[in-house]
Structure 1
Amino acid sequence: MVSVLVVVISIVILSAAVSTIGADNIGELLWEFYVKLVPSSAAQNVKTRHLLQREAIRTSTERSNTSSQDEFAKWAKLNRKVDKLKTDIEKINATIATQKTKFKRQIKTVIWIFTSGLKFFVRIKYRKVPVFWLPKGLFPGWIEWVLSLTSAPQGSVSVSAWFLITDYAIKGAVVFIVQKSFELAKKQPSRNRVSVATAKKSS
């Protein structure tokens, strides 16, 4: 069975990572995967929008190449088609925006359950369980009392105290790791461009 100590550390790491990346950014990333990889009405709408946009560009280009004076009938027909395509794109954009908002709201709910909600649940369920015992006589009695709050036996570290300790200790480290990872990811394309440019110069 997984110990309370490990459970708390895992929740704190997850919460810190989510806080650093941002729930909105996570929702945006998952939405992109969702519409590309999962068969759904949202994915179909995104695909349809792409097709409509391509058709609108093609028709608009054809209209631009058609003289409104010499070929008015053809030009008018293309113009009506462009207007209809624009209307269809606006409608499907509104539908996709609604679906995306709903999806991201659901993701935020799931994130809350596995971070703040799980913290609350663990604190209530294990409020009387000592996460670990302190060496006897290491700290004054009042410190032992504080570390045992709210309901753990005195001389032990409670779940609530352990959450506070690990949150303070781990959050900074997680923030640093995530930020460095993003910085390295941003630098990578730049390095690739430099390598390509160097190769071209050499040739």
Structure 2
Amino acid sequence: MPSLLLVMFALQLALHIINTVGATTINEVLWAIWTKLPTPSGKSTKRALELKLDIVSVKRDMAAVSAQDDFARWAKITRQHDKAMQEFQMLDARLKAHKATFTTTISTLRWLGTQGLRFLLQMYYAKTPMFWLPAGWVPYYVEWILSFPRAPVGSVSINVWGIACASMLVLASEAAAAGYVLVTQKPVPLGDGERKNGEPMAFTARGEKKEL
């Protein structure tokens, strides 16, 4: 069985990645992968793409044919266009419904596998010490804080360990971003999860912050 310390660290790492990249971006990537697989949604996506190309081709043919000079051919092309458009609209509506269901399912599974599992572990192991501090290493009030809420005094609780892991990951990612800027002299692209209050920030090549 993996160490509880490593399990909590892995959960915090997964949450940090999700918050940095953005849940919407992850959902879009997973949906793109899902539609590439031999699934009903994948087949529908492939067929919708074929219909879209056919519609573009038929529209070009319609533009090249005059309804007055060659009405029979123009009417035939129009029927082909209407038939392809009708099938495409039906497929598109079906795909949108499938995508909504897929997104809801993935979001639920992601929450259960990260936030839900973290809450469950914090409740179940609330009294379990992650590790013990050396006796007399820190004052009593610090020991009490580190053991919050129900771990034995003198130990580090699972809640405090989770907070420590999250803080360390944030500092490490910021250090990596700063190092990237210094080495490449390029701004660091920000994910959806890093946008706060609708005002995303990015580093400039000189290390100055710039509002987008």
TM range (shorter): 0.7 to 0.9
Q: Which amino acid aligns with 2:166?
A: D
Corresponding residue for 2:13?
13
SS in 2 for 1:135: coil
Q: Which amino acid aligns with 2:95?
A: I
Corresponding residue for 2:126?
127
Corresponding residue for 1:26?
26
The question of 1:108 aligning with 2:107 is answered: yes
Q: Which amino acid aligns with 2:74?
A: W
Q: Which amino acid aligns with 1:80?
A: R
RCO higher in structure (CA 8 A, sep ≥6): 1
The question of 1:52 aligning with 2:51 is answered: yes
Identity of paired residues, percent? 31
Cα distance between partner residues in 2 of 1:175 and 1:43: 38
Q: Once the two structures are superposed, what CA deviation does each residue of 1:27-61 show, in whole Å capped at 9, x if it has no partner? A: 1001111111x211111110111111122122222
State the Cα RMSD in Å.
Answer: 2.4
* Cα deviation, residue 173, structure 1: 2.1
SS in 1 for 2:80: helix
Structure 2 residues not aligned, in runs of 5+: 181-186, 190-212
Q: TM-score, normalised by structure 1?
A: 0.83
The 5-angstrom pairing of residues 61-140 of structure 1 reads 61-140=60-139
* Cα deviation, residue 177, structure 1: 4.8
SS in 2 for 1:70: coil
**Does the aligned pair in 2 maintain the 1:129–1:159 contact within 8 Å?**
yes
**Does the aligned pair in 1 maintain the 2:4–2:130 contact within 8 Å?**
yes
For the structure 1 residues 99 and 72, does the alpha-carbon distance in structure 2 shift closer, same or farther, using more than 3 Å as the test? Answer: same
Cα distance between partner residues in 2 of 1:157 and 1:54: 61
Cα distance between partner residues in 2 of 1:81 and 1:151: 71
The structure with the largest helix share of the pair is 1
Runs of 4+ residues deviating >3 angstroms: 174-180
For the structure 1 residues 39 and 177, does the alpha-carbon distance in structure 2 shift closer, same or farther, using more than 3 Å as the test? Answer: farther
Q: After alignment, is 93-102 or 79-88 more displaced?
A: 79-88
Structure 1 residues not aligned, in runs of 5+: 186-203
Q: TM-score, normalised by structure 2?
A: 0.79
* Cα deviation, residue 162, structure 1: 0.9
For the structure 1 residues 13 and 76, does the alpha-carbon distance in structure 2 shift closer, same or farther, using more than 3 Å as the test? Answer: same
